[in-house]
């Protein structure tokens, strides 16, 4: 079998186009321009690239995009003060603090200081709890992107067996909840899991989010399964060139799977696109509005009391 590549870049582009349409509608009907504040502490090269990409794409869909670049020695109190300012600034709908933070800053104190209504990363315990309880919430972007990609292949997930490798707060745990809510039987695997290859062989869908290059081998997969590779690992190829690779041994897995995401160009673009979509959702629901899709385009209307 030669697996079909799921083109995350193209699917993310379509999602960003939808977001841009929603932004235009919000502006035309309510004179609202969604505002996204991205906060970066320090100069970690990977984080700097992510922040630049997020800011650029936010601008491209018509957001009021604000970047706050703080020195690595900024005090926690100063960072919390900035978050409080953003919480009360009516022009800001979404606040994202790029992780990781330097060791002298308590990550949880910072994440919990963000107004849950502006928590577009979905990391605040309020949103985590609401997601777990099946209530409307701001949900972490990568899991939303993964479910979206899977649904481009199979629209009804009910009854499918899924193995999610990794149980971080950012990816694995919220993803397991979303897939469970969609009717999947979810096996959450982690470092301590026994017989991971056998668990995968029984899965209709394998999602790898372990941060371990080439972990999932071709012979772990059931023929015809869907493979979503969340991992981003830096590797050196045989010519000595640095490149990004996923958690799945791509060539081998392509021989067994029916559909597979590449790295890069799979899940990564979806994560940024969902950050934009979450910001529009935050802007809309903070004002008591909702976007109601119509066959041609979404229509903005007031929420029923």
229 is catalytic: no
Q: Which listed residue (34, 122, 143, 166) binds ligand NAD by CB under 6 A? A: 166
Q: Is 90 considered catalytic here?
A: no
Give the contacts of 76 (CB within 8 A, at least 6 positions apart).
Answer: 104, 105, 106, 109, 110
Question: Do 41 and 70 touch, CB atoms closer than 8 A?
Answer: yes
Minimum gap (Å) between residue 4 Cβ and ligand NAD: 19
Q: Does 111 bind ligand NAD (CB under 6 A)?
A: no
Three-state secondary structure string covering 144-177: HHHHHHHHCCCCCCCCCEEEEECCCCCCHHHHHH
How far is residue 78 CA from its own chain's centroid? 28
Describe the chain by its helix, strand, coil percentages, rounded to 5: 40, 20, 40
Using the minimum distance from each CB to ligand NAD, give the nearer residue, 92 or 94: 94
Region 131-160 residues binding ligand NAD, contact defined as CB under 6 A: 142
Binding of ligand NAD by 165 (CB under 6 A): yes
Using CB under 6 A, which of 41, 163, 215, 253 touches ligand NAD? Answer: 215
Q: For ligand NAD, give the closer residue by CB, 26 or 148.
A: 148
| Position among 268, 273, 275, 280 found at the interface with ligand NAD (CB under 6 A) | 268
Q: In a 3-state reduction of DSSP, which class is residue 271?
A: helix
Tell me how far, at minimum, the Cβ of 232 lies from ligand NAD, in Å: 4
Give me the 220-259 binding string for ligand NAD, x by CB under 6 A, dash otherwise: ----------xxxx--------------------------
What number of chain residues touch ligand NAD (CB under 6 A)? 25
Q: How far is the CB of 47 from ligand NAD (least distance, A)?
A: 12
Q: Which is nearer to ligand NAD, 258 or 261 (CB)?
A: 261
Binding of ligand NAD by 212 (CB under 6 A) = yes
Distance between CA 273 and CA 141 in Å, rounded? 8
Instruction: Tell me whether residue 67 is one of the annotated catalytic residues.
Output: no
What angle do helix axes 8-30 and 267-286 make, rounded to 10 degrees?
A: 20
User: Does residue 170 interact with ligand NAD by CB under 6 A?
Assistant: yes
Indicate which residue of 22, 119, 121, 204 is catalytic: 121
Q: Confirm or reject binding of residue 271 to ligand NAD (CB under 6 A).
A: yes
Q: Is 94 in the site for ligand NAD (CB under 6 A)?
A: no
Q: What is the dihedral of CA 211, 216, 222, 224, to 10 degrees?
A: 70
**Contact between residue 274 and residue 15 where contact means Cβ atoms under 8 Å apart:** yes
Distance CA 118, CA 32 (A): 15
CB–CB of 162/205 below 8 Å?
A: yes
The active-site residue out of 22, 93, 98, 204 is 98
- Contact flag: residue 105 with ligand NAD (CB under 6 A): no
Q: Which C-beta is closer to ligand NAD: that of 68 or that of 220?
A: 220
Within residues 181-210, the interface with ligand NAD by CB under 6 A covers 189-191, 193, 196, 209-210
Q: At what angle do helices 141-151 and 267-286 cross, to 10 degrees?
A: 110
Q: Which of 58, 113, 120, 125 is nearest to 88 (CA)?
A: 113
Residues serving a catalytic function are 54, 98, 121
Footprint of ligand NAD (CB under 6 A): 142, 165-168, 170-172, 189-191, 193, 196, 209-212, 215, 230-233, 267-268, 271
């Amino acid at each position: 079998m030669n697996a079909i590549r799921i083109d995350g870049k193209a699917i993310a582009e379509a999602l960003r186009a939808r977001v841009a349409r929603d932004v235009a509608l919000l502006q035309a009907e309510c004179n609202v321009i969604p505002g996204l504040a991205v906060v970066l502490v320090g100069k970690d090269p990977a984080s700097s690239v992510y922040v630049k990409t997020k800011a650029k794409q936010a601008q491209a869909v018509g957001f009021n995009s604000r970047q706050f670049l703080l020195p690595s020695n900024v005090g926690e109190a100063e960072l919390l003060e900035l978050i409080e300012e953003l919480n009360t600034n009516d022009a800001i709908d979404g606040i994202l603090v790029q992780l990781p933070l330097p060791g002298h800053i308590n990550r949880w104190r910072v994440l919990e200081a963000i107004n849950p209504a502006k928590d577009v990363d979905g990391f605040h315990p309020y949103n985590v709890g609401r997601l777990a309880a099946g209530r409307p919430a701001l949900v972490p972007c990568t899991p939303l992107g993964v479910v979206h990609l899977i649904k481009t292949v199979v629209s009804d997930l009910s009854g499918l067996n899924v193995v999610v490798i990794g149980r971080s707060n950012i990816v694995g745990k919220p993803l397991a909840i979303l897939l469970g809510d969609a009717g999947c039987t979810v096996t959450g695997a982690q470092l301590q899991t026994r017989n991971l290859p056998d668990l995968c062989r029984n899965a209709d869908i394998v999602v790898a989010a372990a941060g371990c290059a080439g972990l999932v081998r071709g012979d772990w997969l059931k023929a015809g399964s869907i493979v979503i590779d969340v991992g981003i690992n830096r590797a050196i190829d045989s010519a000595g060139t640095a490149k990004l690779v996923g958690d799945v041994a791509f060539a081998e897995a392509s021989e067994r799977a029916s559909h597979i995401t590449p790295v890069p160009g799979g899940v990564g673009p979806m994560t940024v696109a969902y950050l934009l979509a979450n910001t529009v959702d935050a802007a809309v629901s903070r004002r008591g509005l909702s976007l109601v899709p119509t066959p041609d385009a979404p229509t903005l209307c007031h929420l029923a009391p």
